[in-house]
Chains A and B, each alone.
Chain A
Amino acid sequence: MKMMRWTALAGLAATAFTATAALTPALAGKADDTIRMAYDQAPESVDPFFNNVRIGVIIGQHVWDTLVYRDPNTGEYKGQLATAWRQVDDRTIEFDLRQGVKFHNGEEFDADDVVYTLNFISKPENKVVTQQNVNWIEKAEKVDKYKVRVITKKVFPAAIEYLAGPVVIHPNEYYEKVGPKGQNEKPVGSGPYMVSNYVPGKSITLVKNPNYFKDSPKPQPKISKIEIRFIPDRQTQMAEALSGGVDLIMSVPKDQAEQLQQVPTLQIVSGETMRIVFMQMNTLDNTPAPALKDERVRKAIIHAIDRQAMVKEIVGAGSRVLNTICFPAQFGCTDEGAARYTYDPALSKKLLAEAGYPNGLDLDIVAYRERNQTEAMIGYLKAVGIRTNLRFLQYAAMRDVITSGKAMLTHQTWGSFSVNDVSAATPNYFAFTAEDITHDAEVRDLLLKGNSSVDPQVRKDAYKQALKIIADKAYAVPLYSLPVYYAANAELNFKAYPDEMPRFWEMTWK
């Protein structure tokens, strides 16, 4: 223990030295009222509809507002840009809009903004990246200056959930003029923070919006400046956190988080997230690994991995083992009646032998994050005779491998864009979407039925059956939910939420 402490101190001293040597002034954030955050991926665009990385969601929720707000503590929907809403018929919702809200450039918020934004993003030709967040919208219609109607393509009960999350409202006059490109270069929203400086791929600085409307369910921002730097290398991020160069880093692996806990200037905050981890297995007709078409091989793979031990030892506090491909708190998610697979390497070997692979087999695995978890799985698979070839890629490259049908096994994670409904999770991988490498028509039909039924009980039953088939036929390996560890400046009042969204607007200094 003594030695461990010594090592920690030596590491600290070394980093402190490097930090002093470097040009960045290691100012504590409290002194200049700035939260400095480091994140490992840079968004392709700051416009929330044109990126699909977490930091994009975080920036989006701070710079823009949505019609509805979901209180993260109670799960209750509150009006944000809308003040009230009502279901007019199965496919139409009417919103009363808030008056007196202004965008950062002074443009007034009214029905035109909502109508323009929703109609823009719902058109496929505008090529919104996050299609699953917007493709349920048929159109929006203006009723009067502060009243709009949103019409969905089919019956879509989760609409409010999406309108409370990824579907932000752009200022129509500005957006019409500059388009997504201009919105990326000089973003304008109505949220509690405004973009003051943005260097693509490097950093983005947000400043407090002094005119943020008082009735917003998001509290008035208190800390004046947020500086987010994109630092791809985790060790650099850690060194920065140790030396006080940044005040907040997230998704710190469990081991490092536990070690950082010994550092007096930092606090470690952790919690479960909605992000689920699972392994896809390619069973398409042209799969490069025909062995995976054999149910016994797929079951052998699930039996080979000790998920309980992984959760306990390397994934960390707040994580739980999953039995179905969805996050348990999501509407419609259940593992009732679904097959469960225990850790049983002997059974796994037996299944492989029965399937005609007594000497094991070779499979590729693609992964893009939490490499230590991938390697633990590789170790478990090797123990039952499955030799793997790891391709560790950036998310976009891995997605290409999957959508072109060339993947065999994938170490996949999905955060559902923080949408608390199964429609944002399971269908993305099993309803014949680009990322679906299973293609079971029965599962697809059930999922689509769940997506587009009004009766909550019908939805639940449909999702339950779909999830049961996926589990029983072992189409994918459900692994665990991912906790997130934040290392934050000890002087910051910081709370973690399951949606992996640090909420700068509610943070204060101690």
Chain B
Amino acid sequence: MSLALSSPAAQPSRTARLLRRLRGQHAFLVGAGLLVLIALLAVFAPLLAPHDPYLQNLAQRTIPPVWYAKGSWVHPLGTDQLGRDYLSRLLYGARISLLIGVSVVIIAGLIGTTMGLLAGYFGGRMDMAMTFIVTTRLSLPVILVALAVVAMVGGSLWIVILVLGLLKWDRFAVVMRSATQQVRSQDYVAAARAAGASTAHIVLREVLPNIAPQLIVVATLEAASAILLEAALSFLGLGVQPPLPSWGLMISEAKAYMFFSFWLIAIPGSALALLIFAINLTGDGLRDVISPDGRG
């Protein structure tokens, strides 16, 4: 719709160009591939998981994974300290991590983008007010506030999502604000204004689509950070509630078994590291393609 997208017919479309550039990014391909794989595993967890992730069997505890002499294919990744199948919990845990990543990004993205757009587009008093709110928010350490809130109202999956979502919008706001300021002075915005388009139309249909690439980059980085924060909160016992199989919680519960059954802590730990790695690779790849000058 916007003028920027109506390129001459001789050249390939912008999307096509982006995709071509992305194909050249090996890191991006690895990251995105992993991310898609983890997402598929999470989505199809009920079909893939060999057991009920909540089914505890105290007689079958801390069975080692299959590559140990005592392991068996009944529990490919062994069982945890309550005899629950570790592979099943890992798969369901991926759902929780991704759910948290996505939901936090949606909440934080909505808040941050709205504020960034308003501040960047209108400038002046609006900008000052928004900048003030962002500065105030930046002065609060996220993990500390999250800990305090969760300690007061009690932890649960939705509380963790809400708390993180309501805290992690600052980067969205800052990036969207400066991106909007750049786009605002473009000719097509002036043209739309001259053509008599309403402010809402300009902001939503002209500005927003043109800052979307930056939005996606911020979103990936924030998703990774939200997943890590959830794991940290759960590790401290203030996040997701047992028996939900959150990876952070699994690491926390396995801590006691660290010396003699280290796979219990190594498996969810590696899974978490892999997921964060995949998201960050994807985000970096996207950023390199969208603004090749912004590297380093």
Contacts and interface: CB of A to CB of B under 8 A. Distances in A.
Which applies to chain A's interface (DSSP): helix, strand, loop or mixed? helix
A256 B260 CA distance: 8
Interface in B260-276: 260-262
A11 B259 contact: yes
A457 to B, nearest CB: 41
| Residue of A8, A239, A371, A375 most packed against chain B (CB within 10 A) | A375
Nearest to A373: B82
A78 interface: no
Given A1-B70, A3-B68, A309 B58 contact: yes
A364 B156 CA distance: 11
B253 interface: yes
B260 A11 contact: yes
Interface in B58-73: 58-59, 61-62, 64, 68-70
B255 interface: yes
A396 interface: no
Contact of A310 (B58, B84, B242, B261): B58
Contacts of B70: 1, 3-4
B241 interface: yes
B241 A390 contact: yes
Contact of A11 (B81, B83, B262): B262
B105 to A, nearest CB: 26
Interface string A300-314: 000000100110111
B68 A238 contact: no
A145 interface: no
A379 interface: yes
Given A8-B260, A372-B81, A313 B61 contact: yes
B154 A382 contact: no
Given A372-B256, A376-B56, A389-B241, A7 B61 contact: no
A375 B256 contact: no
B168 to A, nearest CB: 24
| Residue of A1, A11, A15 most packed against chain B (CB within 10 A) | A11
Given A8-B260, A383-B54, A389-B156, 15 more contacts: A4-B69, A11-B258, A235-B256, A235-B259, A255-B256, A259-B259, A312-B58, A314-B82, A375-B82, A375-B242, A378-B242, A379-B82, A379-B243, A382-B54, A383-B56
Interface of A: 1-4, 7-8, 10-12, 15, 234-235, 238-239, 242, 253, 255-256, 259, 306, 309-310, 312-314, 364, 371-372, 375-376, 378-380, 382-383, 388-392
Report the 9 A-B pairs with minimum CB-CB distance, sorted nearest first: A313-B58, A11-B259, A259-B260, A379-B56, A3-B68, A309-B58, A3-B69, A375-B242, A392-B237
